[in-house]
């Protein structure tokens, strides 16, 4: 029973340290490319979040590309090669 308690304590401490260290990694901004089908009022929450800097607060650099329509957006997505 003592071995179980020691193992459980060790695993609990390891879990706490792991969870605490997750938010400590400062790698800078992660670039996310977003292809919009078209400018629309439906994207208003996204524009508000960009204007207020919410993406930067979460470590995201948002790169928005206007796809000029659904067919062209899908073509651009399928032809994109990020090597």
pLDDT tens digits along 57-80: 888 898 888 777 777 767 776 777
Q: Residues with Cβ < 8 Å from 77, sequence gap 6 or more? A: 35
pLDDT tens figures, 42-53: 888 888 999 999
pLDDT tens figures, 11-28: 887 777 777 666 555 567
pLDDT of residue 2: 67
pLDDT of residue 51: 92
**Which H or E run contains 61?**
strand 60-66
């Amino acid at each position: 029973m003592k071995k179980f308690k020691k193992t459980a304590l060790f695993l609990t401490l390891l879990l706490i340290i792991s969870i605490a260290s997750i938010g400590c990694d400062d790698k800078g901004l992660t670039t996310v490319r977003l292809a919009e089908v078209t400018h629309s009022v439906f994207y208003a929450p996204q524009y508000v979040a960009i204007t207020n800097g919410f993406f930067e607060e979460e470590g995201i650099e948002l790169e928005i590309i206007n796809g000029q329509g659904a067919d062209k957006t899908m073509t651009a997505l399928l032809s994109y090669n990020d090597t």
